[in-house]
A = this chain, B = another copy of it.
Amino acid sequence: MSPLVKIRSERDQMSAVERRIADFILENAQLLRDYSSQQLANALGISQSSVVKFTQKLGFKGYPDLKYSVGEAIARADNGETAVAAREVVGREQESLATSLWRRKSEAEEATRLINPPEVLGAAVDALAAAGKVFVIGVGEDDIYSRGFALKLSMLGIATVQSFDVARMMASISSGGKGDVLLIFSEHGNHPALCKMGRLFRDQRGRLLTVTRHTSNPLRALADLALLVSAHDEQPYVQSIVYQSALQHLLDGLFIQLCEGDERRHAQLLANLERLQLLLEP
């Protein structure tokens, strides 16, 4: 039981001094953190031993035990909200900038999580896991995420071909076909060359997996499996940042599912990570 509830419930049967202690604690529970039993006694003009006896009567081991319990109770009650609010008031401007950006990212993460049904994610994981080769392309800012994800795939032992060069990729996929996967990153999903590439690849009986913004766009319409990202902000450059964050998180989720879905891949990944580390830090 919460110590505060316990104190209130026994308050009626207490002596005068005890009741004063009880009232003080109930009203100033958050002050208790900085009070020793002696200070509390002084604040009430009573003796320190009365405070200790009070705590023992209530069934606590002693004063520090009561204090600890009250601390827990306050923390549980606030659930952290006051602490966060207080910190924000104290914090500097830059902190609040970083914090508010993080909040935007969190919103985008949630929106993105909710528009991608688990079935689709699962199907995407299965497709990648079972693929013969995975071709990955992204242009412009999408190139960065395309690269990162391709690197991760290859660390899992999945054969991956990646480029930002449409012409080169067009050549690469000509060798692909049934059992292969083409993964296209395109925020707005209406890059004609990428659409063409997607159509061609489907004609060769490969699986087309797209990652686009949550709009109706031609690329998404072509896909066997379309992953979607939702992220919005008034400032275009902020929107771009939160888009990328949500996209990254979506990919991270896929990656972890890929890791954990198969023991062999997992082992391969760990070995690769170690090798990479050795390579970079001789």
CB distance from A119 to the nearest CB of B (A): 9
User: Do B78 and A99 touch across chains, with their CB atoms under 8 A apart?
Assistant: no
The majority secondary structure among interface residues of chain A is helix
The interface bits of chain A over 17-60 (1 if a CB of B lies within 8 angstroms of the residue's CB, else 0) are 00000000000000001000000000000000000000000000
Q: Are A273 and B191 in contact (CB under 8 A)?
A: no
Count of chain copies: 2
Q: In whole angstroms, how far apart are the Cα atoms of A121 and B80 in the complex?
A: 27
Interface status of A94 (Cβ within 8 A of chain B): yes
Chain B residues positioned under 8 Å from A249 (CB to CB): 98, 101-102, 105, 245
Task: Report B-chain residues with C-beta under 8 Å of the C-beta of A177.
Answer: none
Q: Mark A221-239, 1 if CB is under 8 A from B, else 0.
A: 0000000000000001110
Centre residue among A79, A98, A276 by max chain B CB count within 10 A: A98
Determine whether A179 belongs to the interface, using a CB cutoff of 8 Å to chain B. no
Are A118 and B95 in contact (CB-based, < 8 A)?
A: yes
Interface string of A179-211 (1 = CB under 8 A from B): 000000000101110000000000000000000
- CB pair B97–A113 under 8 Å, yes or no, is no
Within the complex, which residue of B33, B109, B191, B253 is in contact with A281, where a contact is CB–CB below 8 Å?
Answer: B191
Shortest A176–chain B CB gap in Å is: 24
B residues in contact with A276, CB < 8 Å: 140-141
CB A115 to nearest CB in B, in angstroms, measures 12
Task: Tell me the chain A residues, 213-270 only, with Cβ under 8 Å from chain B.
Answer: 236-238, 240-241, 244-245, 248-249, 252-253, 255-257, 259, 269-270
Which residues of A approach B to under 8 Å, CB–CB?
Answer: 33, 64, 67-68, 71-76, 78-80, 92-95, 97-99, 101-102, 105-106, 109, 113, 118, 121-122, 139-141, 144, 147-148, 151, 188, 190-192, 236-238, 240-241, 244-245, 248-249, 252-253, 255-257, 259, 269-270, 273, 276-277, 279-282
- Contacts A94-B253, A147-B147 supplied; 18 other A-B pairs, CB < 8 Å: A64-B64, A68-B71, A72-B75, A75-B75, A79-B80, A93-B118, A98-B113, A99-B113, A106-B106, A188-B280, A192-B282, A237-B255, A237-B269, A238-B256, A241-B252, A244-B248, A245-B245, A248-B248
